[in-house]
Amino acid sequence: MKVIYAGFSKTGTKTMTAVFHEFGYNTYDWLENSWYNGKDWVKIVEENGGTVEDFRRMYKGVDAVVDSPCYVFWEEILEAYPDAKIIMSVRNEETWIRSMRKQVDSLAYEPLYVLMQTFSYSGWKHFQYTSACGHAVLGSTIKWPWSIFRYNPTVWLHNYRVHNNYVLQNAPKDKLLVYDFKDGWGPICEFLGEKVPDKPFPHANIGASILKDYMQNHPIMKRMMREAMFTLGVLTLIGAYGGYKVYQNPASIRGWINAAMTRFKFW
């Protein structure tokens, strides 16, 4: 592990992922954490917690971690990988909470994303991971993929302030870079010992667009969608076959309904 991005969600996490990719780092962002370590994170957040050995196993061969829930557990990851460096950025509270709410709501209002989580096994596991992240980060949970995290600005801002202050006070000063994205490549490259790339500094997830970008381009999300389409195809075939059988013998469905009504005493 080379670097932990300890900045809260909506403080440039996707831009930081693009930076780490530019350096050639094997980076676990939100979706990679879900796919490869989702089961572990659900256990850590919702059940029995995690050990140093758990974190060391989960991130073996990984160069950088970004986004939820890693930044909440930056200290535990650092304990597992004591040579790692830490980067964080702090955003204005008013713009942060507005951006955070927009991002969270997009998870519930994107029909294909909800469909994927409802009809794909991998998508359902991803939903469980996302719910655990919401619990750890915002103090909110969701019961079903088509619901939303309850908006609670008091709790959200409290968690944001506590997290930022804790990192600033407790991260080893010789390992910490408090970064302003306006400064571009220079400070990050100097901090990590990397050559300054000959290209503009990236800016990702502008306007909370990352979900649609993921669904169009990310191989993990595309695999989940294929699973959901297969499940829907199977259900459609079953429904069509059932409809055909009823069409052939309408009396059979009436008999079944009558038997069910009698069995459960609906009349």
Q: Is residue 255 part of a domain?
A: no
d(CA 119, CA 141) in angstroms, rounded, equals 20
- What is the domain count for the chain? 1
pLDDT attached to residue 119: 78
pLDDT attached to residue 167: 98
pTM of the model: 0.80
Q: Is residue 145 part of a domain?
A: yes
Q: Do 181 and 87 meet the contact criterion of CB atoms below 8 Å apart? A: no
Q: Is residue 168 part of a domain?
A: yes
pLDDT attached to residue 117: 75
Nearest CA to 64 among 104, 117, 24? 24
d(CA 181, CA 179) in angstroms, rounded, equals 6
pLDDT attached to residue 266: 45
Q: Is the peptide bond before 69 cis (omega within 30 degrees of 0)?
A: yes
- Return the amino acid letter for 236: T
Q: Is residue 54 part of a domain?
A: yes
d(CA 237, CA 56) in angstroms, rounded, equals 45
Residue 216: CATH number of its domain? 3.40.50.300
> Structural domain of residue 54, as residue ranges?
3-228
Residues of the chain with pLDDT below 70 are: 143-147, 205-212, 215, 232, 234-235, 237-239, 241-267
